[in-house]
């Protein structure tokens, strides 16, 4: 049983110094110290709610596996092929690798993760099984949502749809999809199949949509239509959605309105080499915007730390934002936006919310985003998991 | 007098382990150990030549001055105004601030810096004088090239041109310029004035060119014409040059050819929110491409470390490059490209070159770029300035 925790001299979201009290795992009204309570002096650090990683690929990171020499071609299909080949050639153990990434990002304060996990006719649902095991390992420490993800295509690779169903039975939480036109070659059938799965298993949906320009916008139209027909408002996320940054302004505005009306969330990583999404317009229209690291240190991209505070900086940089108020908006995307996008309940620093937070040494939230200070303290349900950058010794042992 | 230095078990540019010998400040043929020689075991680390910062603003960083609340508007003119206002309001001491940034980036291995330094009718040449003092302080440790930079405009602000001349007399090494059309309102007269200064003082030129699309391309034409007329081939750099990433392909190709023919170097920081330059095409055509951090932690941008190894990563990311060979190309931009761009002689790890290098713990050069390992060792002319991330105690004291 985790003791109650009193955090003294802490600045929630960069505000005035105060105390935070976590009782039975949730923020509660201030309490006087008593013997059964732990007390932590935050020394004026800023408290942010636990950072939300809304889009990564825990089963693909090569952290700790030595350098992978990347000689992969430039197209998405080149990369999918290299990825599938590497799984076999390198023997990537999804269970071990996902645990490694979780431990790495926990030190940054990432307490909630949505991960896409490959399902294909070569690996089957082995990676989903690996992730289910990792999810159990970190139960109560870091929450993991598993998206069954047909990375190599679904309809174009016979047998994949059946595997998607198997993955959901095996414990995947969300139905994934990918480029209904350019990869799966039949946007209507791809989306119909995914929405049917979501219906049958009562699951939310999260679709990778890289399709460019009007092709992507058309797919987005199809997704909006189906979200309404299936009454899945508030349960669908579209990841990347580059088309939103590629179509002309009036079309863009109409798409944003449609997303807002059907409560479809958008996930953007703010990639420096992909089209930039209209972050400000999306948020102004009330669209939930979440963010993520995408794959880190894998065959797709050799870099990446998984730090969602750094991600807030990247989002600001990609959008040409430098004002403090904008940096506050991008960290909102990486906390509250992510929480809303992946459907977390009772998230935040208010009374009654889960007692999850990260302490960061900075004068303001904007400074935290700009300079991403390290040596953070991470608390989950009142339990101190990382203190000044050092993980607690009773965390799961990760090979 | 710096002792000779033998570096054992080191991998130049990621190659096979070998020894490097620095005698009288330069790389020399291998030597046997003797009493008057220092020996350093590099433990298989990679050696890169000292990193080259080809474009920064040392006089503007706010490192160590507390958080600056950025409420600046989005246009370049908003930013120029805020910048000029902050100089007075915050009392930014160019000498102290430049020393702080130099010390910060020396730990990353940055041994050569070209800095633009504001010259305007409010600050006069005070910042140039500050930088001259800092340049002296770091003489033999970190080389600093000073560009007299009319940040607030030159012809549009009466008296600035005379101050530019004063700055050159006071020790500035290079004639700067900025947006001849959109800021200085008269591209031909602006460029004529700058090239005349360069002629009169026998100095190279480095022009900030943010002008977009065909306007920028026209200014680039004017620069090319004057570079030829004034026989300044190999002595002109154009910084940013966003237009190169904005015009249609045939126009782009013609501009690239003209740059190559007149040996004009291009400096790009790979900004995530500005147009991306055709890095591969430029280098293939033989155009010298250098890179820099631009301003770090100032009123323009709240972030930035000044690490030119990290900059190589940013360049790759902005260009959508992930292959090892591409990462090797971007670190080449941040070393040899920078050296060629800012005119360094005898640069590199070959015999006869200055004994300047940085040791990085990585398996390959691509890994070094992707993961930017810290705790580097930095050597200048055979003298160890930073060892495993710790600066030597006999470096200049910086307040």
Domains in chain B with CATH codes: 4-49+348-390 (2.30.40.10), 51-342 (3.20.20.140)
Q: Does A27 reach chain B within 8 Å, measured CB to CB?
A: no
Classify residue B185 as left (phi > 0), alpha (psi -120 to 50) or beta.
Answer: left
ipTM rounded to 2 decimals: 0.96
Residues of B in contact with A300 (CB under 8 A): 322
Buried b (16+ CB within 10 A) or exposed e, A216-239: bbebbebbbebbeeeebeebbbbb
Looking at the complex, report in whole angstroms how far the Cα of residue B309 sits from the nearest Cα belonging to chain A.
Answer: 13
Range B134-138 contact pairs with CB under 8 angstroms and sequence separation of 24 or more: B134/B58, B134/B94, B134/B95, B134/B98, B134/B99, B134/B102, B135/B171, B137/B99, B137/B396, B138/B99, B138/B102, B138/B396
Would you tell me the crossing angle of helices B94-106 and B126-137 to the nearest 10 degrees? 40
How would DSSP label each residue in A180-194? TTTTTS-HHHHHHHH
**Is A18 at the interface with chain B, CB within 8 A?**
no
Q: Choosing among B242, B274, B322, B323, which should be mutated to test the A contact, i.e. which has the most A CBs within 10 A?
A: B322
pLDDT per position as a tens digit, A318-335? 999 999 999 999 999 999
Contact (CB<8Å) A322/B70: yes
Work out the minimum CA distance from B206 to partner chain A, whole angstroms. Answer: 24
Q: Is B27 helix (H, G, I), strand (E, B) or coil?
A: strand
CB contact under 8 A, B70 and A300: no
Handedness of CA B111, B114, B120, B126 (dihedral sign): positive
| Residue among B309, B301, B291 nearest B376 (CA) | B309
Q: Which residues of A touch B320 (CB under 8 A)?
A: 74, 273-274
Beta bridge partners of A8: A41
pLDDT in tens, B355-397: 999 999 999 999 999 999 999 999 999 999 999 999 999 999 9
A314–B322 C-beta distance less than 8 A: no
Closest CA to B363 of B43, B29, B33, B32: B43
Measure Cα distances from A314 to A60, A296, B143 in Å: 22, 15, 31
Q: Which of A183, A170, A104 is nearest to A138 (CA)?
A: A104
Residue A321 DSSP one-character state: -
State whether residue B379 sits within 8 Å of chain A by CB: no
Q: Quick one: pLDDT at residue A1?
A: 62
A24 touches chain B (CB under 8 A): no
Average pLDDT over residues B178-205: 98
> pTM, whole model, 2 decimals?
0.97
- Reported as type and span, the H/E element at residue B283 is helix B279-284
Residue of A nearest to B72 (CA): A323
Please tell me the distance from the alpha carbon of residue A360 to that of residue A375, in angstroms, as a whole number.
8
pLDDT of B388: 98
Q: How far is B285 from chain A (nearest CA, A)?
A: 21
Measured CA to CA, the distance from residue B87 to residue B119 in angstroms comes to: 12
Task: Decide if B75 touches A, using CB distance below 8 A.
Answer: no
Could you tell me if B375 lies within 8 Å of chain A, comparing CB atoms? no
Spatial distance between the Cα atoms of A12 and B309, rounded to a whole number of angstroms: 35
B392 contact A CB<8A: no
User: For residue B83, what is the enclosing H or E element?
Assistant: helix B76-90
Q: How far is A134 from chain B (nearest CA, A)?
A: 25
Residue of B270, B216, B220 lying closest to B246 (CA atoms): B216
Measured between CB atoms, does A318 come within 8 Å of chain B?
Answer: yes
Considering only CB atoms, B322 lies closest to which of A302, A322, A371, namely: A302
What residues contact A249, with CB distance under 8 A and at least 6 apart?
Answer: none
Sign of CA dihedral B337, B340, B344, B345: positive
In Å, how far are A208, A286, A337, A398, B279 from A177, measured between CA atoms?
A: 6, 24, 21, 30, 34
Contact (CB<8Å) A71/B325: yes
pLDDT at B1: 61
Label residue A44 exposed, middle or buried (CB < 10 Å: 0-12, 13-18, 19+).
middle
- Residue B187 φ then ψ, to 5°: -60, -40
For A74, nearest residue in chain B (alpha carbons)? B321
In contact, B279 and B319? CB cutoff 8 Å: yes
pLDDT band of residue B71 (cuts 50, 70, 90) is very high
Residue-by-residue pLDDT tens, chain A, 399 positions? 678 999 999 999 999 999 999 999 999 997 777 778 999 999 999 999 999 999 999 999 999 999 999 999 989 899 999 999 999 899 999 999 999 999 999 999 999 999 999 999 999 999 999 999 999 999 999 999 999 999 999 999 999 999 999 999 999 999 999 999 999 999 999 999 999 999 999 999 999 999 999 999 999 999 999 999 999 999 999 999 999 999 999 999 999 999 999 999 999 999 999 999 999 999 999 999 999 999 999 999 999 999 999 999 999 999 999 999 999 999 999 999 999 999 999 999 999 999 999 999 999 999 999 999 999 999 999 999 999 999 999 999 998
pLDDT confidence of residue A388: 98
Nearest to B245 by CA among B324, B326, B320: B320
CA distance linking residue B9 with residue B16, whole number of Å? 9
Q: Are the C-beta atoms of residues A204 and A238 closer than 8 Å to each other? A: no
Handedness of CA B83, B87, B90, B93 (dihedral sign): positive
Q: Is there a contact between A323 and B273 if contact means CB atoms under 8 Å apart?
A: no
Between chains, do B324 and A74 touch, taking CB under 8 Å as contact?
A: no
In this complex, do A322 and B301 lie within 8 Å of one another by their Cβ atoms?
Answer: yes
d(CA B18, CA B350): 13
Name every chain A residue with its beta carbon within 8 A of the beta carbon of B272: 270, 272, 314, 317-318
Closest-CA residue of chain A to B371: A303
Q: Write the DSSP symbol of residue B287.
A: -
Contacts of A325 in chain B (CB under 8 A): 71
DSSP classification of residue B53? E
Enumerate the residues of chain B whose CB falls inside 8 A of the CB of residue A324: 69-71, 302
CA distance B323 to A260: 38
Smallest Cβ distance to B72: which of A66, A314, A322?
A322
Cα–Cα–Cα angle for A360, A363, A368, rounded to 5 degrees: 45
Residue A291 in 3-state DSSP? coil
pLDDT band at B12 (very low <50, low <70, confident <90, very high): very high
Distance in Å, alpha carbon of A159 to nearest chain B alpha carbon: 31
Alpha carbons A32 and B155: distance in angstroms, whole number: 67
Q: Checking DSSP bridges between strand A18-23 and strand A4-12, what pairing results, if any?
A: antiparallel
Partners of B26 in the beta sheet? B23, B354
What was the pLDDT predicted at B399?
86
3-state secondary structure of A56: strand
Q: What is the rounded distance in angstroms from the CA atom of residue B290 to the CA atom of residue B311?
A: 11
| Half-sphere exposure of residue B343: CA atoms within 13 angstroms, side-chain side | 18
Do A52 and A310 contact (CB within 8 A), yes or no? Answer: no
A352 interfacial to chain B (CB closer than 8 Å): no
CA distance A88 to A95: 15
Mean pLDDT for B205-229 is: 98
Instruction: Count how many pairs of residues, chain A against chain B, have C-beta atoms within 8 Å.
Output: 91
- Of B71, B327, B370, Cβ closest to residue A324: B71
Average pLDDT for chain B:
97
**How far is A188 from chain B, CA to nearest CA, in Å?**
30
The rounded distance, in Å, linking the Cα atoms of A227 and A243 is 18
Outline where B15-75 has alpha helix (H): none
Candidate from B67, B274, B276 with C-beta closest to A367: B67
Question: What's the rounded Cα separation, in Å, for the pair B384 and B393?
Answer: 11
Distance between CA atoms of residues B106 and B391, nearest Å: 8
Select the residue from B64, B67, B299 to test the A interface by mutation, using most A Cβ atoms within 10 A.
B67
Q: Which of A385, A374, A358 is nearest to A47 (CA)?
A: A358
Q: How many CB atoms lie within 10 A of CB A242?
A: 18
Q: B107 pLDDT exceeds 80? A: yes
How far off is chain B from A92, nearest CA to CA, in Å?
A: 19
Distance from CA of B387 to the nearest CA of A (A): 22
> Which of B294, B303, B331, B372 to probe the A interface (max A CBs under 10 A)?
B303
* Residue A229 in contact with partner chain B when CB distance is under 8 A: no
Contacts of B71 in chain A (CB under 8 A): 323-325
CA–CA distance, A260 with A388 (Å, rounded to integer): 40
Q: CB distance A324–B70 less than 8 Å?
A: yes
Q: Is B72 on the interface with A (CB under 8 A)?
A: yes
Residue B102: alpha-carbon gap to chain centroid: 12
Mutate to test the interface with B, among A60, A80, A273, A369 (most CBs of B within 10 A): A273
- Nearest-angstrom CA–CA distance, A118 and A123: 8
Indicate if the pLDDT at residue B222 is higher than 90.
yes
**Residue B336 carries which DSSP code?**
I
Burial label for A268, CB within 10 Å (0-12, 13-18, 19+), is buried
Residues 256-285 of A with CB under 8 A from B: 270-274, 276
B76-80 long-range contacts, Cβ below 8 Å, gap at least 24? B76/B179, B76/B182, B76/B183, B76/B210, B77/B183, B79/B299, B79/B300, B80/B151, B80/B152, B80/B183
Q: CA of A319: how far to CAs of A246, A272, A322, A378, B277, in Å?
A: 14, 10, 9, 29, 18
Helices (H), chain A: 76-90, 94-106, 126-137, 160-170, 187-201, 213-229, 249-261, 279-284, 308-318, 324-332, 338-342, 365-371
Contact call for A324 and B72, based on CB within 8 A: no
Is B255 in contact with B244 (CB distance < 8 Å)?
Answer: yes
SS3 call for A114: strand
Residue among A302, A329, A331 with most chain B CBs within 10 A, to mutate: A302
Interface test with A, best of B370, B373, B374, B389 (most A CBs within 10 A): B370
Cβ-nearest to A303 among B325, B363, B370: B370
Distance from C-alpha of A24 to C-alpha of B84, rounded to nearest angstrom: 53
What are residue A115's DSSP bridge partners? A56, A146
A370 contact B CB<8A: yes
* pLDDT at res. A47: 98
Q: pLDDT above 90 covers what percent of chain B?
A: 95
* Distance of alpha carbon B120 from alpha carbon A9, whole angstroms: 45
């Amino acid at each position: 049983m985790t003791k109650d925790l009193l955090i003294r001299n802490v600045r929630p979201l960069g505000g005035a110094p105060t105390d935070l009290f976590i009782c039975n795992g949730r923020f509660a009204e201030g309490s006087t110290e008593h013997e059964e309570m732990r007390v932590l002096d935050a020394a004026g650090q800023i408290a942010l709610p636990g950072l939300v990683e809304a889009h990564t690929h825990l089963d693909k990171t090569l952290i700790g596996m030595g350098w992978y020499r990347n000689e992969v071609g430039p197209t998405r299909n080149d990369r999918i092929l290299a990825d599938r080949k590497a799984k076999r050639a390198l023997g990537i153990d999804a269970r071990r690798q996902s645990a490694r990434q979780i431990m790495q990002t926990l030190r940054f304060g990432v307490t909630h993760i949505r991960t896409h996990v490959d399902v294909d006719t070569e690996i089957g649902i082995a990676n989903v099984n690996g992730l289910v095991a990792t999810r159990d390992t970190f139960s109560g420490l870091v929450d993991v949502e598993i998206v069954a993800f047909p990375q190599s295509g679904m309809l174009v690779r016979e047998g994949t749809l059946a595997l998607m169903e198997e993955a959901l039975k095996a414990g995947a939480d969300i139905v994934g999809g990918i480029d209904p036109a350019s990869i799966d070659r039949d946007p209507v059938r791809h989306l119909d199949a995914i929405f049917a799965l979501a219906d049958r298993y009562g699951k939310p949906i999260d679709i990778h949509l890289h399709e460019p320009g009007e092709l992507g916008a058309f797919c987005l139209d199809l997704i909006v239509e189906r979200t309404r027909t299936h009454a899945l408002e508030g349960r669908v996320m579209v990841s990347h959605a580059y088309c939103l940054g590629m179509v002309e302004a009036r079309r863009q505005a109409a798409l944003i309105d449609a997303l807002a009306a059907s409560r479809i969330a958008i996930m953007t990583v703010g990639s420096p080499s992909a089209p930039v999404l209209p972050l400000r317009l999306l948020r102004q229209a009330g669209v939930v915007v979440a963010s993520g690291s995408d794959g880190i240190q894998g065959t797709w991209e050799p870099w990446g730390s998984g730090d969602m505070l750094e991600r807030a900086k990247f989002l600001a940089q990609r959008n040409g934002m430098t004002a403090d108020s904008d940096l506050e908006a991008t960290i909102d995307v990486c906390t509250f936006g992510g929480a809303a996008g992946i459907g977390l309940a009772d998230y935040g620093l208010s009374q009654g919310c889960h007692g999850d937070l990260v302490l960061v040494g900075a004068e303001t939230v904007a400074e935290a985003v700009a300079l991403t200070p390290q040596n953070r303290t991470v608390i989950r349900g009142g339990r101190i998991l990382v203190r000044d950058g050092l993980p607690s010794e009773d965390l799961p042992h990760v090979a």
